[in-house]
């Protein structure tokens, strides 16, 4: 079940919201937990059992991981238990997500020496990358004493399986939501009034812009290497840069809006990332919940930037290798992660991570950062490294061959207009960020935007959904 399917929009979401509003307050977590498992099972099927097994183990481990000032002898046992639980969570992710990739590499190596090795083919459980990180956040935050373990299994199930963020984030660290889980939280109609426009904004981003330019992007990236041109390469790279942003930030807006309607404040995930003037700033604005997760649970435990430049660069390399592979089991994702990690190291080494003061320098750095990000997305989108390098090669070598017939047919007037509108939106000033402005501001511009989204935008998006012109969210595959 997708957020942009008629089943979700016209039946599931209204049913859950009505149930939460009319039933006793003490039922709310239960309604959300049951509804979330139904939501997950509708798309994941038998993999729901894997999610439940991981939930049971992490829930049972929680109380044993709590620190005690009266029993210091427990510390060694707690550390061993923490490592075992993290090992279990990471192991599940590695087996289901990376076993196929690993056996493919072994089989290739074996074949080079005349041998043979079986390739494991496993279906990827939906959302496993996200709920694995939620489980790790839960046990680590308890171990550190930042929050107590949840005694109520329904509250725990609500945190892990909450359908707004279960499949594609935002990644909610346990300490960010622990205080919102008790049953005594209030749920008011103004939460729905604030959350629904945010949800509608995300729906518009996804259906009106991201899905509309998707066929053109696919046509560019599926162009045979021999037919690739400068124009096709840049059109595809820019198109995917916009498609990915409006698709994923649209999902995040919908998730945050849904969470608000259910009475939860989920963390922000995007803050106009393409307005960044450095790659360092880009990672403070793009997929912020993932960046914060890696900072808190990988980068800082490794030592962060405390032990000199060499170890700082090492830690950045580790984080971005993991960031790349977290997105997918393919060399293209690894190269994308290493590309961004290298850019961050270069900025830090030469003192370029701070934004320049002069306006002209700011504009130039913003343009450079945007172009570098666009090049990175070519690796992210391409089917393999050969195609990615071929496309980048054509982006660097201008020619006058124009568009291929297939791409030209895919680039309709409507898609061209939407592409230009998306570019204009992306190049607006860095502030304010549209989502939070729409949700909380009472200014005249925010009110006007809410009216536009809730009337013209929502009506048009609903028509597109009703006609079936929507596609799965891009981050569902991760």
Q: What is the pLDDT of residue 48?
A: 94
Residue 223 CA, chain-centre distance (Å), reads 27
To the nearest 10°, report the CA torsion of 48, 53, 54, 60: 140
Residue whose entry in the numeric block shows the structure tokens 């290739």: 108
Handedness of CA 135, 137, 141, 144 (dihedral sign): positive
Q: What is the pLDDT of residue 320?
A: 95
State pLDDT tens for residues 387-431: 999 999 999 999 888 899 999 999 999 999 999 999 998 888 878
At 127, list the tokens.
């959302």
Cβ proximity of 417 and 256 under 8 Å: no
State pLDDT tens for residues 73-105: 677 888 999 999 999 999 999 999 998 888 888
Comparing CA positions, the residue from 395, 381, 283 lying closest to residue 332 is 381
Comparing CA positions, the residue from 61, 43, 82, 259 lying closest to residue 153 is 61
The most distant pair of C-alpha atoms in the chain lies apart, rounded to whole Å, by 76
389/409 Cα distance (integer angstroms): 25
Q: Is there a catalytic annotation at residue 327?
A: yes
Cβ proximity of 142 and 297 under 8 Å: no
305-343 in b/e burial notation, b at 16+ Cβ within 10 A?
A: eeeeeeebbebbbebbebbbbbbbbbbbbbbbbbbbbeb
246/217 Cα distance (integer angstroms): 13
At 183, list the tokens.
């049953």
Integer-rounded Cα radius of gyration of the chain: 23
Residue whose entry in the numeric block shows the structure tokens 């000032």: 69
159/138 Cα distance (integer angstroms): 9
Q: What is the pLDDT of residue 183?
A: 62
430/234 Cα distance (integer angstroms): 24
Cβ proximity of 416 and 217 under 8 Å: no
CA 165-166-170 angle, to 5 degrees, is 35
Instruction: Point out the catalytic residue in the list 134, 287, 327, 340.
Output: 327
Q: What is the pLDDT of residue 478?
A: 65
Q: What is the pLDDT of residue 284?
A: 94
158/55 Cα distance (integer angstroms): 11
State pLDDT tens for residues 364-387: 999 999 999 999 999 999 999 999
437/272 Cα distance (integer angstroms): 12
Cβ proximity of 324 and 338 under 8 Å: yes
Using 70 as the pLDDT threshold, list the residues of the chain that sit under it: 71-73, 183-187, 469-470, 476-478
- pLDDT over 90 percentage in the chain: 64
């Amino acid at each position: 079940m997708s957020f942009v399917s008629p089943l979700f929009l016209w039946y599931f979401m209204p049913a859950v919201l009505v149930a939460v509003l009319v039933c006793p307050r003490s039922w709310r977590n239960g309604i959300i937990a049951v509804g979330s498992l139904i939501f997950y099972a509708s798309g994941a099927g038998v993999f729901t059992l894997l999610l439940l097994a991981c939930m049971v183990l992490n829930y049972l481990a929680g109380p044993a991981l709590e620190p005690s000032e009266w029993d210091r002898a427990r510390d060694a046992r707690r550390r061993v238990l923490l490592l075992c639980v993290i090992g279990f969570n990471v192991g599940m992710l590695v087996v289901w997500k990376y076993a196929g990739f690993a056996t493919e590499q072994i089989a290739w190596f074996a074949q080079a020496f005349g041998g043979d090795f079986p390739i494991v083919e496993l279906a990827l459980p939906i959302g496993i990358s996200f709920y694995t990180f939620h489980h790790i956040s839960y046990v680590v935050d308890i171990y550190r004493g930042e929050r107590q373990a949840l005694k109520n299994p329904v509250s725990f199930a609500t945190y892990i399986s909450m359908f707004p963020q279960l499949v594609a984030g935002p990644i909610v660290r346990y300490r960010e939501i622990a205080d919102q889980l008790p049953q005594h939280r209030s749920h008011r109609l103004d939460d729905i009034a604030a959350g629904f426009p945010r949800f509608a904004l995300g729906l518009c981003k996804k259906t009106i812009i991201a899905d509309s330019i998707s066929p053109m992007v696919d046509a560019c990236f599926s162009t045979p290497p021999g037919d690739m041109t400068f124009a096709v390469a840049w059109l595809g790279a820019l198109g995917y840069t916009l498609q990915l942003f409006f698709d994923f930030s649209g999902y995040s807006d919908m998730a945050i809006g849904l969470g608000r309607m259910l009475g939860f404040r989920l963390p922000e995930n995007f803050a106009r990332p393409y307005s960044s003037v450095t790659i360092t700033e880009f990672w403070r604005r793009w997929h912020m919940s993932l960046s914060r997760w890696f900072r808190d649970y990988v980068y800082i435990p490794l030592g962060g930037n405390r032990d000199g430049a060499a170890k700082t660069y090492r830690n950045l390399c580790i984080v971005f290798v993991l960031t790349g592979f977290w997105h997918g089991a393919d060399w293209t994702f690894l190269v994308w992660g290493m590309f961004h990690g290298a850019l961050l190291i270069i900025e830090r080494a030469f003192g370029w991570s701070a934004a320049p003061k002069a306006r002209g320098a700011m504009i130039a750095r913003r343009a450079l950062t945007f172009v570098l990000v666009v090049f990175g997305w070519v690796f992210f989108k391409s089917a393999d490294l050969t195609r990615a390098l071929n496309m980048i090669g054509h982006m660097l070598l201008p020619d006058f061959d124009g568009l291929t017939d297939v791409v030209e047919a895919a680039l309709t007037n409507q898609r061209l207009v939407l592409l230009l509108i998306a570019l204009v939106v992306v190049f607006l000033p860095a502030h304010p960020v549209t989502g939070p402005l729409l949700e909380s501001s009472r200014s005249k511009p925010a009110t006007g935007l809410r009216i536009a989204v809730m009337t013209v935008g929502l009506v048009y998006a609903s028509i597109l959904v009703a006609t079936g012109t929507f596609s799965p969210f891009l981050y569902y595959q991760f």
